[in-house]
Structure 1
Amino acid sequence: MTAHGLRTDQRTTFVGKSVAIIGTRGYPSFYGGFETLVRQLAPYLADQGWDVTVYGRDGSTKKDTPDHDPRVHAIVTRGVESKSLSTLSYGLTSSVHAARHRPDVALVMNVANGYWLPLLRARGIPTVVNVDGIEWERAKWGKQAKAVFRGGARLTAKFGDNLVYDSQEIARRWAAGFKRDGIFIPYGGTDPGPLEPVPELAGRPYALMVARFVPENTVVEFFDAAEHLSERWDIAIVGSSGYGGDLDDRVANLAARNERIHWFGHVSDDQRLFSLWQHSGAYFHGHSVGGTNPALVQAMACGAPIVARDTVFNREVLAGSAIFAQPHSADIAEKIDQLLANRSLQQELSTAARHRGETHYSWRNVCSTYETTLLDVTGTKSSVPRSNNNRE
């Protein structure tokens, strides 16, 4: 290992048209939305002749999977494994390494890494930054963490050469709050084709939730609804907090004492997860903050009949292809119960969601737009800030 925690046997030179991807857990990883994007984007860029390097964390990737493309170079750096410091610390060590080896462009995920953009700019490396959601409004973060994200956003607005917004509403918020424009690039979905149901739920109508266990994902309200719904229907729950805690304990207890509640934890097997969506009678999507949610787009591609929390973000993605519920357990239970009891409505919503996903959320279009954005910014390597567009 070097002083920066890098494995000395890893590749450290860039050749040709090169991009460094900073701010994810690595390649290939199955943790969240950024990682899903990288699993699609990195091989696509390699197909287009790019030299692709993805920075990540030790133990967060799985190379012995069909998703692994040997043309994509993975570099592991050292960081602090904690809820509040992981992104910042890994972002720093990744940015230091990239600054030393100077790729043609850096694709940076998450505004928390805005603190390291001046380092990349000082080395003449242009940046494209996916700003993600409005992190400083998430209930899971304390006051100090929210201030860190807000500070990172200000620096991203000042030093990011080009910004990517995964929803039109996020773009509007950044234009209003930081006077920055950018590129709208959502997430994509993969049609898996017909899949066998998971054995635990084969032949049984069920409601599904897939979410990280944080308050803004309406997890508590769904758990309350699930207790009522399980009197009549099976319930499948995918996800965890990632760090243990009260919500993990609660769902474990629910599953232990109620045979109709099935907790799968974090599912890294895409085909298993896709099958759960594909065969669900009702998928509840409770995310309330952020932009275009990757899990929602994938659920659409799988043809899941959707009940979604009524938010501007979810309505932007789903339009008329879902039922919307208020964030109260009674309304969630009522809407899911009505959908599970109506097979024709399930089929109608499944067809509508799949069609909207195919029309608006194609991975090929997503990856192509990312490549165009990367190419555009490599033509403007100047370190001189752009006027009228780089300050809050």
Structure 2
Amino acid sequence: MPRRVAILGTRGYPSYYGGFETLVRTLAPYLADTGWDVSVYSRPGAIELQDPARDHRIESITTRGLDSQSLSTLSFGATSALSAIRRRPDVALVMNVANGFWLPFLRAARIPTVVNVDGIEWEREKWGANAKRAFRVGAQLTASHATSLIFDSAGIADRWTTGFGRDGTTIAYGGTVPGELDVPPGLQSGAYALLVSRFVPENTVEEFLDAAAIIAREHDVVLVGSSGYGGELDARAERLAAENSRVHWLGHVHDDQHLFALWRHAGAYFHGHSVGGTNPALVQAMACGAPTVARDTVFNREVLGDHAIFVQPDVSAIAAAVTTLLRSRTVQRDLAAAAEARARRCYSWDSVCEQYDVLLRQHVARSDRWGRKDISGASSVSISAPGRFDANLPTASGQ
């Protein structure tokens, strides 16, 4: 009989909203290929059931919640957890520490939980004080009640080891190396700057929009993304595009091939994310060979190595670095080739999915051995580098 895994905490399958959704679009079919019965919890209206890329072996389960910036994750997480408790999968893969509030109930139902903790949500500028406190409490509950943790970078693993006394397994995100792609209409290969980002302050969007006005004196600038809820950054991008014909605001791009082509032919991709570990958009940009100017953080340096230009979150510094890169095709080619090679070497989707598969199977086997009599002791998998897995499951006490 196939083992059953439930995936909670994303917008659903298939969804194109963010990094978790990209992971699930790749992981869910992989798990089905290896014999899993896969269910993914979804939000109403977040998925397209007629999507031609949909794998019909994957069950989508829609639950209700409050679709607001501050309450959506908590409310949809609650209804998904209640449904999972009724359906009793063999293991639950949970995304985001905000769902830590519901882990005690899954634990009481003796369902092993593997939690991808994502970034340091309680430090994100977009959240108010109450939301930050909620994420912090969710993280503490995750540390205490999750059966196992997944970190997407060594930097995130260090924060959890020192801050919560929990270790886990490090599994990064993967990137798809595309084939030949046509230059996006209206643009010239190697001659435009590109931003791909959710419009939130910690992604250095405000500074890049200011820099874009300077860059656009000589070069095209393409903006991909939005806040998802409207707001000042969206309004600024709209005004900038209306006032300058060199600035193109595309909003959220659902078509992967279009997005890959934008990265592939960019002369300079700016990556301003500052809070979090391995960023899925950055890994995919590398796989597409995008020459990158990145905000100087420990997380971005971990992913990029020496294959980028690093800057501080300063308008003048961003504008100067991007403009200089756009003027040098030789530097563009060198950075692009090195980034793509690093993506192939360190961030393969096959390796990422295999590690998830092995980890999930380990917890099902552990639950079978114990007959689900007690999964209350928080356990973890020793930290491993991308592409490696250590199947030892020592007991660790959560904080």
Same fold (TM over 0.5): yes
Q: Distance in 2 between matches of 1:67 and 1:278?
A: 22
More deviation in 96-105 or 376-385?
376-385
- 1:147-203, Cα deviation, whole Å (9 max, x unpaired): 000000011001100100000000000000000000000000001111111112145
Deviation at 1:62, TM superposition (A): 2.1
**Do the aligned residues in 2 keep the contact of 1:18 with 1:105 (CA within 8 Å)?**
yes
Amino acid in structure 2 at the alignment position of 1:344: T
Query: Counterpart of 1:353 in structure 2: which amino acid?
Result: A
User: Equivalent residue for 1:391?
Assistant: 398
* Cα deviation digits, residues 35-87 of structure 1 (max 9, x gap): 00000000000000100000010111123334210000000000000001000
Give the corresponding residue for 2:218.
232
Question: Paired residue for 2:19?
Answer: 33
**8 A contact 1:39–1:67 mirrored in 2:** no
Supply the AA of the counterpart residue of 2:309: I
**What is the alpha-carbon distance in structure 2 between the residues aligned to residue 16 and residue 203 of structure 1?**
48
**Partner residue of 1:213?**
199
> SS of the counterpart of 2:307?
coil
1:313 equivalenced with 2:299 (yes/no): yes
How many angstroms does 1:257 deviate by? Answer: 1.1
Q: Deviations over 1:270-321 (max 9, x none)?
A: 0111110000000000000100000000000000000000000000000011
Shift of 1:389: 2.5
How many matched pairs?
A: 378
Matches within 5 A, 1:82-93: 82-93=68-79
- Indicate the residue corresponding to 1:110 in structure 2: 96
The one-letter code matched in structure 2 to 1:151 is: V
The separation in 2 between residues aligned to 1:167 and 1:247, in whole angstroms, is: 29
Taking the aligned partners of 1:54 and 1:200, their CA distance within structure 2 comes to 38
User: Which among 141, 144, 168 is matched to residue 155 of structure 1?
Assistant: 141
Paired AA for residue 390 in structure 1: S
Instruction: Output the CA distance in 2 between the equivalents of 1:310 and 1:322.
Output: 10
After TM superposition, the score normalised by the length of structure 2 is 0.93
- Residue deviations 1:328-366 (CA, integer Å, cap 9, x gap): 010001111110000010000000000000000000000
State whether residues 53 and 73 of structure 1, in contact with CA within 8 Å, keep that contact through their aligned partners in structure 2. yes
Q: Deviations over 1:111-166 (max 9, x none)?
A: 00001111111111101000000000000001100000000001100110010000
Q: Is the 8 A contact 1:288 1:311 kept in 2?
A: yes
Distance in 2, Cα, partners of 1:300 & 1:66:
26
Equivalent residue for 1:79, pick from 37, 40, 65: 65
How do residues 204-283 of structure 1 correspond to structure 2 at under 5 angstroms? 205-283=191-269
Please say if residues 136 and 145 of structure 1, whose CA atoms lie closer than 8 Å, have aligned partners that are also in contact: yes
Please point out which of 146, 159, 162 is paired with 1:173: 159
SS at 2:234 equivalent? helix
Q: 2:84 matched to which residue of 1? A: 98
Structure 1 position 386, deviation (Å): 4.2
Task: Go from structure 1 to structure 2 and tell me whether the alpha carbon gap of 1:385 and 1:204 turns closer, same or farther (over 3 Å shift).
Answer: closer
Partner of 2:271: 285
Once the two structures are TM-superposed, the CA of residue 204 in structure 1 deviates from its matched residue by 6.8
1:353 aligned counterpart, secondary structure: helix
CA contact (8 A) 1:126 1:380 kept: no
Match of 2:186 in 1: 200
Using the alignment, how far apart are the partners of 1:63 and 1:36 within structure 2? 16
Going from structure 1 to structure 2, the CA distance change for 1:221 and 1:70 (only over 3 Å counts) comes to: same
- Counterparts in 2 of 1:370 and 1:29: CA distance versus 1, 3 Å: same
Further displaced range: 143-152 or 193-202: 193-202
**Any gaps of 5 or more consecutive residues in structure 2?**
368-373, 380-394
CA distance in 2, matches of 1:173, 1:29: 29
Q: Quote the Cα distance in structure 1 between the aligned partners of 2:190 and 2:3.
A: 51
Contact 1:159 1:390 in 2 (8 A): no
**What is the rounded CA distance, in whole Å, between the counterparts of 1:196 and 1:61 in structure 2?**
28
Q: Secondary structure at the match of 2:366?
A: coil
Structure 2: how far apart are the matches of 1:193 and 1:384? 47
2:4 maps to a residue whose letter is S
| Pairing of 1:127-166 with structure 2 (within 5 A) | 127-166=113-152
Aligned to 2:383: none
One-letter amino acid of the structure 2 residue matched with residue 384 of structure 1: S
Mark the CA change 1:166 to 1:346 in structure 2 (over 3 Å): closer, same or farther.
same
Q: Please report the TM-score for the alignment, with normalisation by the length of structure 1.
A: 0.95
SS at structure 1 position matched to 2:80:
helix
Do the aligned residues in 1 keep the contact of 2:190 with 2:326 (CA within 8 Å)? no
Q: Which amino acid aligns with 2:15?
A: S
